[in-house]
Amino acid sequence: MNGDFNYRMPVQIICAAGVSKAISSHIKGKRVFILSDPFLFANGVAQTIGDNLEGRQVQYFSEIEPNPTCESVDLAAEQARRMGADCVIGLGGGSSLDVAKIVSCLTTNGGSIYDYYSGGTQTIENRQTQLVCIPTTAGTGSEVTNVGVFTNKKTKVKMPMVNQAFWPDLAVIDPELTYTVPPAVTASTGMDAFCHAIEAYWNRESNPISDALSLSAVKMILQNIKKAYDDPHDLGAREAMIISSLIAGISFSQTRTTGIHALSFPLTAEFGASHGTACSITLPAFIRISQEQAAEKMAAMAGYLGFGTVEELAQAVEDLMVSMNMPVRLNQLGIQEKDLQHITEVGLTPAIVHLTPAEMNTQTVYTLLKSIL
């Protein structure tokens, strides 16, 4: 834990069942661009939100794909600019929310995402367009972070982008929106939130506030994820999951993530795993190695959660994943021993990997991956 810290959380948060239908008074703009994915447009959720915006001009973009590409970002930005959008609403999982962040910036900062992202030479200095994020999965916490994650279609490299202009103005938390999330997505997104909380907790940049948030989030997730998985209409479990995802998001927004997320990028971009699956598949192994340099802290977390040892916590997490039909071995994603060296090299690229408490180098990462092949 770091006793010297600088905590900043500029996002206004409103939370209530059904609140997404009543956000008109929070919208400052006259021309609202609503970004979502094909499912949320086809089932009418996007239009219900737009219909309740009282007298604004509303335009929809519903082509956001999981793990959004820079090309999708540019397409959406072009349409938002053409309508003169002064408010961008991201509605969906992390993919839609992340695209909304950069599109809200590109409406007034010209050019392509490639001008600013990974190798781009320009900087986004500010955002003038209002940015509202409405999560429909309980997982990424993107609604309260200043991170966006995009994939370069040509190189297949998936990388996070961090910018002060990415903090949303408003996060709208409506647990009812998560009723339709299928069990497999409930499991993988919920375990993504678990990873955020625990990665913030053992993070080299952790602080007393992020620690408190993380402990609260992991407990709520362990108590509710299986209930939400088994019964999609359990309002109590859905509410607890979307709030714990929010809390985990606030926590890691202060610390960033660690090796779990760094290794997830190649597992998603090159082996097709969903984001939550790509993160959680290494989670039990990371919990085990966390004892190397964060032993006391991890023992405290295990005790707080009712486990005798950190190993018991790791095993319980693995058992929970199995009970939700999640893969716990890399070979279940089609990964073979010959792939491990490459995954190791790509996984060691993002700077966040070195926020892991244990030493992360070619040998340690390879050994960790081999242990869960």
Query: Which residues contribute to the site for ligand NAD (CB under 6 A)?
Result: 37, 39, 66-67, 92-96, 98, 136-137, 139-142, 145, 147-149, 177-178, 180-181, 185, 189, 192, 275-276
Q: Locate the DSSP E strands across the chain.
A: 12-15, 31-35, 57-61, 87-92, 130-135, 147-152, 157-162, 170-173
CA atoms within 13 A on the CB side of 368: 25
Euclidean distance between CA atoms 138 and 240, whole angstroms:
9
What does each C-alpha distance from 63 to 31, 182, 336 come to in angstroms? 19, 20, 33
Shortest separation between residue 98's beta carbon and ligand NAD, angstroms: 5
Task: Please classify residue 287 by burial: count the beta carbons closer than 10 Å to its beta carbon, then call 0-12 exposed, 13-18 middle and 19+ buried.
Answer: buried
DSSP bridge partners of 162: 147
Shortest separation between residue 273's beta carbon and ligand NAD, angstroms: 11
Which residue, 98 or 211, has its beta carbon nearer to ligand NAD?
98
SS3 of residue 13 by DSSP: strand
What does each C-alpha distance from 44 to 48, 242, 320 come to in angstroms? 6, 21, 33
Shortest separation between residue 125's beta carbon and ligand NAD, angstroms: 20
Shortest separation between residue 357's beta carbon and ligand NAD, angstroms: 20
Shortest separation between residue 346's beta carbon and ligand NAD, angstroms: 15
Which residue, 143 or 310, has its beta carbon nearer to ligand NAD?
143
Which residue, 139 or 259, has its beta carbon nearer to ligand NAD?
139
- CB distance 205 to 152 below 8 Å: no
- CB distance 149 to 160 below 8 Å: yes
- CB distance 248 to 200 below 8 Å: yes
Which residue, 90 or 284, has its beta carbon nearer to ligand NAD?
90
Neighbouring CB atoms inside 10 A of 308's CB total: 10
Which residue, 191 or 302, has its beta carbon nearer to ligand NAD?
191
Which residue, 142 or 152, has its beta carbon nearer to ligand NAD?
142
Shortest separation between residue 278's beta carbon and ligand NAD, angstroms: 9
User: Residue 238's closest CA among 219, 223, 251?
Assistant: 223
Shortest separation between residue 360's beta carbon and ligand NAD, angstroms: 20
Euclidean distance between CA atoms 101 and 148, whole angstroms:
7
Euclidean distance between CA atoms 215 and 226, whole angstroms:
18
User: Residue 212's closest CA among 354, 358, 5?
Assistant: 5
Shortest separation between residue 195's beta carbon and ligand NAD, angstroms: 9
User: Residue 168's closest CA among 113, 94, 74?
Assistant: 94
Shortest separation between residue 280's beta carbon and ligand NAD, angstroms: 11
For residue 203, give both structure tokens. 């993070």
Q: Strands 157-162 and 147-152, how do they pair?
A: antiparallel
User: Residue 194's closest CA among 259, 283, 109, 319?
Assistant: 283
Which residue, 11 or 314, has its beta carbon nearer to ligand NAD?
11
Which residue, 109 or 142, has its beta carbon nearer to ligand NAD?
142
Shortest separation between residue 185's beta carbon and ligand NAD, angstroms: 5
Which residue, 149 or 221, has its beta carbon nearer to ligand NAD?
149
Q: What is the residue whose two structure tokens read 């006391």?
A: 296
Which residue, 8 or 30, has its beta carbon nearer to ligand NAD?
8
